[in-house]
Amino acid sequence: MFDPIMWDKLNEECGVFGIYNHKEAAPLTYLGLHALQHRGQESAGICSSDGEKWYKHRGMGLVSEAFGQGELAKFHGHLAIGHTRYTTQGSSRIENAQPLFFNYAQGSMAVAHNGNLVNAGVIRKELEKKGSIFQTTSDTEVIAHLIARSSKQDLPSAVKEALQEIKGAYALLVMNEDQLIVALDPNGLRPLSLGTLGEAVIVASETCAFDIVGGSYWREIEPGELLIIDQHGIQSQRFAPKINRTLCTFEYIYFARPDSDIDGINVHMARKRLGKQLAYEAPAEGDVVIGVPDSSTSAAIGFAEATGIPYEIGFIKNRYVGRTFIQPSQELRERGVHMKLSVVRKVVEGKRVIMIDDSIVRGTTSSRIVQMLRDAGAIEVHVRISSPPVKNPCFYGIDTSSFDELIASNKSVEEIRQYIGADSLLFMTPKGMVDAIGRVDSDNAPDRGHCLACFTGRYPTEVNFEEALPITKC
């Protein structure tokens, strides 16, 4: 299931969706997962309940592949949670598909989680010494075991107690037959929004999922907040003291869909501002501005508007390739880029091209794309990146966990330019990036409420690099 372009990007791990008090909870969750498909293409699953019985299904592949014809007709109930998961190497197994379902002493529960726990490995070893048996390699199961081992008699209290043990990033949904429990990690590293649909309550990783089901945005889940949603309404509690939020900046740069709003900021408009700021910080002389689809399109438009250089569609993305089963050798990675992208020759031929991209992670794909532009007749290729160099691994649910994977950890900007074959290469500054996104942090946090760890090395939680290596993300 190798995607040559996604391999050379930072990739988010999962999307979660939950709904309470709707007679078509499972079908709506299915639609919500479609809207969150960009957050995960390895597997998808749904659990629902009618208050007595459970209905559940997980499958590999895209949402439409995981749920075959007639599968949704088997679901009933007013309460459901769903999950879509991104591929991580060595973990493409149905056992790791979510939601995970458990029977335990207090009853039954289903768990869905977006993020990564930096202390999952340590907790897992401790639990195994005490007799716990794990069925998956997912750190989500660590959370479930902590809940099941709690001495608390009700699910919300057990969840709250479990959350005291874990560290890292998590947007967490837990349900039993008649309650939906929602929690966001104390740093607010992952996005999680609350919405409504008539009398129903919805929660999703991104607001674009509300739109597809006809729902309305209500508010963001606060960092360190736990919601109990049941027949009595919505009860909000705190399981951690309020601290400065450190939302993953790549949600704005790359992960989230352009039509989503995160903390009140539209992603498309934020990316346009990034492009305009990039034009100010890293101008280039050229005849045409193009973006690498899809996430860089907005930034390319902003760059073009700020400079007056025409914006053109320089690449066509093949929407119908789907997931490919090429073995990830270097040669096949490079050839695979042609399956995903084609250059519009008449746009770039004989031109000085300014190519906007959101990031350079490993550099392999950037090198190939620059060469594709030259092969199509571009006389110069100037690369501008709407984020700073990614120099540090992420331990919060993104698929880089070592310095060796990151080209900016091992090469200077000039060396990266030579490696990708561009005529010039410049990146955004961290300050310019934060200013352009425009988040207002009332607590005057030094990073304006952003996690900048992959750029600056300042991690918002304590990280033991050996312990933080993921079991399996999500």
Active site residues: 14
Contacts of 275 (CB under 8 A, 6+ apart): 298, 299, 300, 301, 302, 303, 304, 305, 306, 356, 386
Q: How far apart are the C-alpha atoms of 75 and 459, rounded to whole Å?
A: 42
Asked whether residue 451 is marked as a ligand-binding residue, the answer is yes
Contacts of 266 (CB under 8 A, 6+ apart): 258, 259, 260
Whole-number Cα distances in Å, 76 to 23, 72, 180, 203: 8, 9, 16, 19
Whether the bond into 185 is cis, omega within 30 of 0: no
The backbone torsions φ and ψ at residue 18, rounded to the nearest 5 degrees and listed phi first, read -145, 150
Asked whether residue 474 is marked as a ligand-binding residue, the answer is no
DSSP H helices, 20-78, are 25-35, 63-66
Residue 35 and residue 257 in contact, taking contact as beta carbons nearer than 8 Å: yes
Max intra-chain CA distance, the chain: 71
Asked whether residue 454 is marked as a ligand-binding residue, the answer is yes
Sign of CA dihedral 109, 96, 59, 341: positive
Query: Are β-strands 450-451 and 288-291 bridged in parallel, bridged antiparallel, or unpaired?
Result: unpaired
Binding site per annotation, positions: 248, 295, 357-358, 394, 451, 454
Binding-site sequence positions for Mg(2+) = 295, 357-358
Binding-site residues for [4Fe-4S] cluster, in ranges, read 248, 394, 451, 454
